[in-house]
A and B are shown apart, each in its own frame.
Chain A
Amino acid sequence: MTNKLRDLRADRGWSQAYLAEQLQVSRQSVNALETGKYDPSLPLAFRIARLFRLPIESIFQDDA
């Protein structure tokens, strides 16, 4: 699975620390998500989508 988290965050001028704070996760988690080392659970993916006010499928893309 790939995601546009880094681009979306950059567009809004948010730091990793700020995004982590908003999602109530560690900065390591944000970094792992952005670099594709970790795929979020559905609840976290929904939290991310709500924060960016975008549908999940426009943030996360299935590689298959």
Chain B
Amino acid sequence: MLCFTGGNLAERRYRRSGLMLMLSYFLTFFGVTFLVHYYHPTGFRLYFAALLPSLPIFGVLFIAGRYLREETDEYQRDTFVRSLLWGIAFVMGLEMFLGFLRTYGWTGTPPAFLSYYVFCISVLVAKFTYKFRNRIPTDDQ
């Protein structure tokens, strides 16, 4: 539970909600994948099955917006927005690369949710890079 103790109220709320949403994403993703694999739903049920694991992802985007609204520390807000921009840049780069691959005849179909994983990992790496570059000195003076 250490990850809930650091930072201000907005940061702790963001991390707690984010963890719960990621857990619910994995549960719905694996649950729906299992059900689709065995029951082969069609029509409305298939749309509903696809919507279920998407909801926690919308939730993650919503709590990111809420965090930006609640965060009072402008430097933390700034690094968070920069990290989000890095995430968007990596996703766009990946999509462009895959687009060119298809243009040149590649027929592979990577799962659509790969973009979201790339986005999350890029944002995390960017956040930790900013944190590392702005290491707080051990002596307090």
Contacts and interface: CB of A to CB of B under 8 A. Distances in A.
Partners in one complex: yes
B14 to A, nearest CB: 14
Contacts of A15: 140-141
Contacts of B75: 25-26, 28-29, 32-33, 38
Contacts of A16: 136-137, 140-141
B136 A24 contact: no
A4 to B, nearest CB: 16
A60 B7 CA distance: 27
Nearest to A29: B75
Main secondary structure on chain B at its contact with chain A?
Answer: loop
Contacts of B74: 25, 29, 40-41, 44
A28 B76 contact: yes
B102 interface: no
B134 interface: yes
Interface in B52-95: 72-76, 78
Q: How large is the interface on B (under 10, 10 to 19, 20 to 34, 35 or more residues)?
A: 10 to 19
A38 B76 CA distance: 11
Contacts of A24: 72-73
Interface in B4-27: 7-8
B134 A28 contact: yes
Interface of B: 7-8, 72-76, 78, 131, 133-137, 140-141
Closest 9 CB pairs of A and B: A29-B75, A15-B140, A25-B73, A32-B134, A26-B73, A31-B136, A38-B75, A32-B75, A41-B74
8 contacts: A16-B137, A26-B73, A26-B76, A28-B131, A29-B73, A31-B135, A38-B75, A41-B74
Given A16-B136, A28-B75, 10 more contacts: A15-B140, A16-B137, A25-B73, A26-B8, A26-B73, A29-B75, A31-B137, A35-B134, A38-B75, A38-B78
